Amino acid sequence: MGFLTPLFLIALAGLAVPVLIHLTRQERGKPIRFPSLMFLERIPFEETARRRIRHWLLLMIRLAALAVLVAAFARPFVRGGSLAAIGGPGPEEVVILLDVSYSMELGDSWDDATGHARSVAGSLRPQDRASLIAFAETPVLLHRSVSDPARLLATLDTLRPGSLATRLAPAVKLAATTLAASALSRHRVVLISDFQRTGWQPDPDATFPGAVAVETVVVGDADAANLALTDLELRRRSEGGRERVAVEARLVNSGADEATTDVSLSIDESEVATATAVVPGGGAAPIRFDPFTLTDGFTRGEVRISEPAGAGLPADNTLSFVASPGGDLAVLVVDPLGTGESNLYLRGALGIAEDAGFTATVLTGSPSAAQLDAADVVVLNAGPFPGGDAGNRLRAFVEDGGGLLMVLGERSTVPAVHADFLPATVGAVSDAAGERRLGFVDYDHAVFEAFRGPRSGDFSQASFYRTRALAVGYGQVLARFADGAAALVEGRRGRGRVLVWATGLDRFWNNLPLQPVYLPFVHRVTRYLGGRGEAPPWYLAGSTVNLAAFAEAAGSVEIPAGAAAMEPGGGAVAVDPTTSLLRLDKRGIWEIRPPGQRPDHPLALAANVDVNESDLAKVDVEEFQSAVAGGAAAELATDDAEAILEVPEEDYEKRQSFWRYLLAAAFLLMVSETVLANRLSRDRIKEAAGGVRIRRPREAKTES
């Protein structure tokens, strides 16, 4: 037995009040002034009678009413025994997991999901608590263990499906963590989702303890027809000095019937082409638009299919992209040997670029000033850094914004006067004892960013037999060999960049030219040095983009001061200048510009939904439940849980709510007191009236 607010028990001292009032009560009321009381006799209220308690029952009822009232305010509860079970099952911690991926927009899925979530919130008892987690790719804990259903309902009103894909495992983990922090005795998870197969990757860590009741609510129709734009490709071609871009898209029909739809291409919000696509049931169809001329940087495009309203998923009907003109890069390859073998692979790589090409020129001597003026990038292929005026011209070239790639070989030397110009000091030739491979690649760098994803290129397959030692100076190491030696070092001089590659780009010192990554590696290095980096035309919604790297890759574009990320459809997200990280959690075009300013073609990024989410096939719910249930704490049965978990006193009190009964008892006692007091009062008046005695004048005189 305990009290939640024991301080109220101090009020029990008030029990003395009725007794004191009874004992000390004086006759009240203003007396009637009368000439003489000669003929009246007083009702005999002796002092002893006033000091004697005559109506014990009445007094006891009053004292009991007061005591019960005080006890009610002290909010008693019973921790153990059969009384502790009063109020039904113990308090329950409920976690509502609500899928807010864009696939929830299908048909009535969202209404069904939120309706169920509301019913769960509405069925909470006062002693229960609930948490609300909205999840897509990442779960977000919106409410943690609240007891007010109104807060949950208010939040549910604000939720809408987003642009991200379903990931069930992280949501399960967060729910398990939330429940682990709860001290309540009963745990329940209500998982409301369309349970797409693509959203569930079994994870041994994504499990609930056995004491957790898992309730799954499946919404949506797995067999619903849906047309989706699943891919977008931009093919660039230089025609007459202008860059032409051909857009190709891919349409997938998940329905059983053949579907015909109009497909449109918009450039800078103006529709420039339309086409009609016929997609067989369960099949796919490509759509190709005529090339358009790309003239402005950050030109926005959008491919859209027109799906009937209410049919399919609206989020996968649009693919956006952002493209900027590239142009041929003039590459000056300085090769002292001048043999075809020494730069065979390099020339080959620069010559087979399809979209934005390279114009490669091979020199054996030092480049002249005119040659440097016409060049964007200079590659010193296994040769020395020129001395004298040539060296100075090369330095000036770089400082004016040119790019220099120094590929090291046997003859690579650096004059002492220019040693500090390079980001690393070139050392001796080093032969590897065995196979030497790259151990570290900075995938955050613009050069390697394209190789970040799986199956996007594997540098670890390349073997390096001979290298030059590099002592890193002011530069930044972009790649290292497995033994820690620097492989690629970058440095900036003026407005230009210098890269030093510790080994060759031919087959003499390594087998990199034979690897698939060689061609894109050479292209990206060259473009990066030439300031013509290519930013991805679009990102997956949910990606986190390093804006600084993006701007760098987009051609060293400056991010405006005070810029913010303007979300598609309005809203602004502040950009942290230190990290420059931006999460693209909405599909559409994001603009990076100062709020309030509307420059032509501002820095922009496109974000498209993950088309995997368009696959509406569902996971087997029983399989899912068996995968998430039966954790290590399964033996924490309900009865034992209460013994192990420290149940808060508030929960006991709230569950038992003895104060309600006590208040009712106090009310009944007060009613009884009123009835009894009225009855006694009437009797007392009669008794008092019987005590009036008229004193005869003679008696009065005698007494006086």
Partner 1 sequence: MTRPAGIASRASFLDPDVLARIDNLELVARTVVDGFLQGIHRSPYLGVSMDFAEHRPYMPGDDIRKIDWRLYARTDRFYIKQFEAETNADVGFLLDVSASMGYGSGETSKLDYGRFLTASLAYFSAGQKDRVGLYAFDDDVVEHVRPSAAHLDKVLYAVARVKAEREGGWDKPLARVANTFRRRGILVVVSDFYADPDEISASLGVFQAQGHDVVAFHVLDPAEIDFPFAQASNFQDLETREVLQVVPEKYVEAYRGHVRTHIEELGRGFGRHGVDYVLLNSGKPLDEALYAYLTFRQKSTRVR
Residues contributing to the site for partner 1 (CB under 8 A): 27, 29-43, 45, 685, 688-689, 692, 694, 696-698, 701
We find the least distance from the C-beta atom of residue 682 to partner 1, in angstroms, to be 12
Smaller CB separation from partner 1, 30 or 455: 30
The Cα 251–Cα 280 span in angstroms is 10
Q: Give the pairing of strands 377-381 and 329-334.
A: parallel
CA distance 199 to 343: 48
Which residue in 103, 93, 183, 92 sits closest to 135, CA to CA? 103
- The residue (of 544 and 681) whose beta carbon lies closer to partner 1 is 681
DSSP state of 618: B
Closest contact distance (angstroms) between CB of 62 and partner 1 is 24
Q: How far is the CB of 67 from partner 1 (least distance, A)?
A: 33
**Closer to partner 1 at the Cβ: 370 or 689?**
689
Taking the least distance from each CB to partner 1, the nearer of 35 and 241 is 35
Closest to 541 (Cα-Cα) out of 453, 607, 606, 588: 607
Give the tokens for residue 134.
Answer: 């909205």
**Shortest distance, position 50 Cβ to partner 1, whole Å:** 12
Report, in Å, the least distance between residue 693 CB and partner 1: 8
- CA-based nearest residue to 499, from 526, 481, 519: 526
Instruction: Give the count of beta carbons closer than 10 Å to the beta carbon of residue 442.
Output: 16
Q: CA 613, CA 195: separation in Å to the nearest integer?
A: 11
Instruction: Give the residue with the Cβ less far from partner 1, 79 or 684.
Output: 684
Q: Minimal distance in Å, beta carbon 33 to partner 1?
A: 5
| Identity of the residue, 37 or 671, whose beta carbon is nearer to partner 1 in the bound complex | 37
Whole-angstrom distance, CA of residue 198 vs CA of residue 207: 18
Q: 549 or 700, CB closer to partner 1?
A: 700
- Taking a C-beta distance cutoff of 8 angstroms, is the pair 565, 591 a contact? yes
Dihedral over alpha carbons 648, 652, 653, 655 (to 10 degrees) = 130
Comparing CB distances to partner 1, the nearer of 32 and 632 is: 32
Whether 519 and 352 have beta carbons less than 8 Å apart is answered as yes
Pairing outcome for strands 544-546 and 581-583: antiparallel
Q: Are 629 and 595 in contact (CB under 8 A)?
A: no
- Shortest approach of partner 1 to residue 679 CB, angstroms? 18
> In the complex, what is the shortest distance from the CB of residue 677 to partner 1, in angstroms, rounded to a whole number?
17
Nearer to partner 1, 643 or 692 (CB): 692
Q: Give min distance, CB of 21 to partner 1, in A.
A: 19
Compute CA distances 188 → 29, 129, 144, 479, whole Å: 66, 10, 14, 49
Q: What angle do CA 518, 520, 521 make, to 5 degrees?
A: 60
Backbone phi, then psi, for 411, in 5-degree steps? -95, 10
